[in-house]
Homo-oligomer: A and B are copies of this chain.
Amino acid sequence: MKPKAYESVAVSSRIRLARNFAEYPFPGRLIGDPRGEETAREIVRLVSAQIMPLESFLWYDMSSVSAERAEYLAERNLISRALIGNRRISSAFISRDESISVMINEEDHIREQYFIDGLDLTRAFERISGIDDVISYTVPFAYDEKLGYLTACPTNLGTGLRASVMLFLPALSRGGRMKEIAAKLKQLGLTVRGAFGEGSGADGDLFQISNEVTLGVTEEEILSVVEENVDRLVEDELTERARLKREGGLALSDRLLRSYGILTNCLKIGAEEFIRLMTDIKLAVALGILDGTMEELDNLMIAMRPANLSMLNGVPLGGEEKDVFRAAYAGGKLRAMGMLTDQKRNDLSPRG
């Protein structure tokens, strides 16, 4: 059981297993060819038959899912861009609570993912292993005694396991520490990515830490090296936050409250500025400057992504309409959260 402060750093954990059926070509070989695509549909049916009885899954046949719905799912990190790219043959099975996502005919035949709040890779691994076992009863997985699980891309060979933890690191990031940290983690076989996927900027001070090496190590070794390093990062971030609060003092509180003031009063706001201001507000909560829960703020950030926004609205929104809806919806939510009582204001001001 991790201490409470952990949750304000370690946002969520994800385990992903890459699997392929031994008897079929990889999805890249199936797409574009009529017989191949029939095989791909066969793979979807095989997996579906096994897992649908297990959980209350929603089955998304990507060939009939609208572009907006696909974008909505991608924004919620439930499906990948690669799955959308293969939409002619791909499917996703997503549990109603959004804790499980099984993608079929992405880069590999099967990508099984389990998401969990906070830091608990072991539990996430146990959960997805249950799904993995059930799928494995159908057709034997492509497996080599020496190499382990065979995958479309050599970077997933062996365990096929990617253990990721999403971390909120505003203090380390603002302190210019991320480059050095990423270099250090790389030497340990770990990678750091901005929240919104490979190559993206570190929007929202969110960073995903995951194992790079999948081959020649056991699953347990992967989980433990990720957990250990996440533990250390969480500690570093908490230390850095304490220092930031101490040294930032009034100027920092002032800056963060101005972001709160803008976001609770503006009439329109673009996606980028929204993330920037929300990140300030989250940092303020993390430092005890504002009252609130990280989870509620994280959920709001996801809900305000462009496709999620349209889905929330019911009818697709144009460019400026999105900005107007975002300002009205998020502003209302934030004001209703009671993050800044008069008492709190008094406590924050040296005049109080």
Copies in the complex: 2
Q: Name 12 interchain pairs, CB-CB below 8 A, sorted by A.
A: A250-B268, A250-B324, A254-B327, A257-B265, A264-B265, A267-B348, A267-B349, A321-B350, A324-B351, A325-B351, A328-B352, A329-B351
Docked complex: A296-324 residues within 8 A CB-CB of B: 320-321, 324
Docked complex: A253-287 residues within 8 A CB-CB of B: 253-254, 257-258, 260-268
Please name the residue on chain B nearest to A265 by beta carbon. B261
Known interface pairs A324-B351, A349-B327, A352-B328. Does A250 touch B262 (Cβ–Cβ under 8 Å)? no
Centre residue among A263, A268, A324, A340 by max chain B CB count within 10 A: A268
Number of interface residues of A (CB under 8 A): 30
Q: Beyond the given A261-B262, A261-B266, please list 14 additional residue pairs across the A-B interface where CB-CB is below 8 A.
A: A250-B324, A251-B268, A253-B267, A254-B268, A257-B266, A257-B267, A258-B266, A260-B265, A261-B263, A264-B265, A267-B349, A324-B349, A324-B351, A331-B345
A148 to chain B, nearest CB (A): 53
Residue interface mask A228-254, B partner, CB < 8 A = 1: 000000000000000000000011011
Alpha-carbon distance between A254 and B326 when the two chains are bound, in angstroms: 13
A345 to chain B, nearest CB (A): 8
Partner among B250, B267, B329 whose Cβ is within 8 Å of the Cβ of A267: B250
A273 to chain B, nearest CB (A): 11
